[in-house]
Amino acid sequence: MSEDCPTVRLELQSSPETLTLVRSAIGGVAELIALDPELLDDMKTGVSEACNNVVLHAYPGSSGPLCVRVYIEPTAIDVLVRDEGIGLPNAASSDDRIQGVGLPVIQALAQQSEFRAPPDGGTEVWMRFEGERDGKPLFARTGKAAADDGWTERLSGDAVASVSPVSFAGGLLGRLARALAARARFTLDRFSDVYLITDAVAAHANQAASGPRIGFGIAADTRRMDLTIGPFRPGASSRLREEKPADDVASALLLLSDELDLRRDDGGEMLHLVMTDREWRPALTLR
């Protein structure tokens, strides 16, 4: 596992709702690589258990950062769950700590697993899931992930993600956006629009990303969802601002977004859009 080259990096705030987002993300990855259903169940359960322990134990009486990294290796899938909480008690034995956080469940499902105390604090749970059974692969091979360049540090939201290759953005973005749209209490019609918006954004990312890795942040509030994604090549998104869309991607974004904004960035451009529920939607504004 190369820790600086995750296929997916997902940044969240620990809360009971976090588990829905994590499971949605794992499901999105599984769809993209045609993951074996049994292995998918094991991964969802093991990763959910690790994240639930962060919610319950890492930040007593409050919430804090939760990071999930997925590494798709040639013959295995590694998952790292990390928090910045209270860490492992120095006085507790390994067995005591295991009983407190349910690691036996993870050990039963993962081929290998480790509980770690990083030097800078917090706790890590590392899991490796075997990618072959009886000599047959359990998922489709993918291209090598590019290094995590830290670009997502400028993003914020209920879910912040970084993916490589860029083709992974669609499955992950769609799953997370729909989960957050449900949290934002979108009506059924507007919820359906989320599918179209995220498909259009993913298609644009595949065409216009400035490199082999792309990041996005999604924030949800009552009847509102904000999405920021990038970086894109300078000028590659200009067609999205045309009043008469030239293609289906631009048409979907202009017709279904309430706000559409291109923001300059040192590494290129960021696309920011806002969706609100149709009942409350103001007229589209272009900036």
145: in domain:
no
CA distance 142 to 269: 27
Pairing of strands 8-13, 136-137: unpaired
* DSSP assignment string, 84-102: -SS---TTS-HHHHHHHHT
- Examine the fold and report which residue of 86, 108, 137 is the final residue of a domain before the chain moves on: 137
Q: Which domain holds residue 215?
A: 151-286
Does any domain span residue 85?
yes
For residues 99 and 44, membership in a common domain is answered with: yes
Considering the domain architecture, whether residues 129 and 175 belong to the same structural domain is answered as no
Q: Where is the domain boundary, 137, 166, 197?
A: 137
Residue 1 belongs to a domain: no
Intra-chain end-to-end CA distance of the chain, in Å: 43
Please state the domain count of the chain. 2
Question: Are 192 and 248 members of one domain?
Answer: yes
Residues 133 and 166 in one domain: no
Confirm whether 142 is domain-assigned: no
Global pTM reads 0.90
Beta bridge partners of 11: 67, 160
Digit-by-digit pLDDT tens for the chain (287 residues) are 555 899 999 999 999 889 999 999 999 999 999 999 999 999 999 999 999 989 988 999 899 999 999 999 999 999 999 999 987 655 344 444 444 456 788 989 999 999 888 888 899 999 999 999 999 999 998 888 999 988 899 899 999 999 999 999 999 999 999 999 999 999 999 999 999 999 999 999 999 999 999 999 999 999 999 999 999 999 888 877 766 666 788 888 988 999 999 988 776 899 999 999 866 555 555 55
Residue 166 and residue 120 share a domain? no
Q: Which long-range contacts (CB under 8 A, 24 or more apart) does 116-119 make?
A: 117/87, 117/88, 118/82
CA 29 to chain centre: 9
Specify if 23 maps to a domain: yes
Question: Based on the domain organization, do 160 and 281 belong to the same domain?
Answer: yes
Residue 211 lies in a domain: yes
- Let me know whether 187 and 237 are in one domain: yes
Q: What is the CATH number of the domain that holds 221?
A: 3.30.565.10
The CA R_g of the chain, rounded to the nearest whole Å, is 20
Task: Note whether residue 146 is domain-resident.
Answer: no
Boundary of a domain, candidates 78, 112, 137: 137
Residue 15 and residue 128 in one domain:
yes
| Residue 50 included in any domain | yes
Buried b / exposed e over 74-83, threshold 16 CB at 10 Å, is eebbbbbbbb
